[in-house]
Chains A and B, each alone.
Chain A
Amino acid sequence: DTGVSQDPRHKITKRGQNVTFRCDPISEHNRLYWYRQTLGQGPEFLTYFQNEAQLEKSRLLSDRFSAERPKGSFSTLEIQRTEQGDSAMYLCASSSPLGGNEQFFGPGTRLTVL
């Protein structure tokens, strides 16, 4: 499978616990994005990497959220001290300037905070 992959697909956690999600982009894509989608809404931008550099973070991304892309390939998104309001689908997308910046999405990680 050469598409964007995400792991895990589902995560159930208790309030206050830390969680980490992983995204593997399409191999030749140097740009990687994280979005959050709640039920009935469109995806909301969280953060964006070009290679290993984190170029932009949304104001939605509180201090409890951190994202990394250490080698410019896969990325991780960590949420510390989870809250019930963090329950959502976390989507990863990747793109390449050679591909006209079209963003291809992964299947998402559905987080449920109890």
Chain B
Amino acid sequence: GENVEQHPSTLSVQEGDSAVIKCTYSDSASNYFPWYKQELGKRPQLIIDIRSNVGEKKDQRIAVTLNKTAKHFSLHITETQPEDSAVYFCAASYFGNEKLTFGTGTRLTIIP
């Protein structure tokens, strides 16, 4: 089955700086890679996703890149703000088997 590894487990960044979280996956059939943000005690919320037919996707301060050859994908947050503090999870799945396999999460802390 799919295995998703996520690094780092914790990340502290000065407000205004950029944050990068990296994930690797094992199943070359995976072709859908979402990122979820989970604040303490709340539900995971989808913030951005990418499909294997593109290499990069941006949405305002958030971007995701995908390297299919190396089987890794990354989340980039620019101009970080205190409200970006949360746990971020990457995940992978493929069409025809939509269950998500999640990484272990990254606790991001934005230092004012």
Residues in A neighbouring B98, C-beta threshold 8 A: 31, 33, 48, 95, 101, 103
B82 to chain A, nearest CB (A): 22
Residues in B neighbouring A102, C-beta threshold 8 A: 34, 46, 49
B100 contacts partner chain A, Cβ-Cβ < 8 Å: yes
Residues in A neighbouring B95, C-beta threshold 8 A: 101
A43 contacts partner chain B, Cβ-Cβ < 8 Å: yes
Pairwise interchain contact A42-B46, C-beta atoms closer than 8 A = no
Contact of B34 among A41, A44, A103 (CB under 8 A): A103
Interface stretch among A13-21, A70-78, A80-88, A104-112? A104-112
Chain B contact residues: over half helix, strand or loop, or mixed?
Answer: strand
> How many positions in chain B have a CB within 8 Å of any CB in the partner chain?
23
How far is B48's CA from A39's CA once the two chains are assembled, in angstroms? Answer: 24
B22 to chain A, nearest CB (A): 15
B61 contacts partner chain A, Cβ-Cβ < 8 Å: no
How far is B42's CA from A108's CA once the two chains are assembled, in angstroms? Answer: 8
Residues in B neighbouring A105, C-beta threshold 8 A: 36, 43-45
A65 contacts partner chain B, Cβ-Cβ < 8 Å: no
B18 contacts partner chain A, Cβ-Cβ < 8 Å: no
Residues in A neighbouring B49, C-beta threshold 8 A: 100, 102
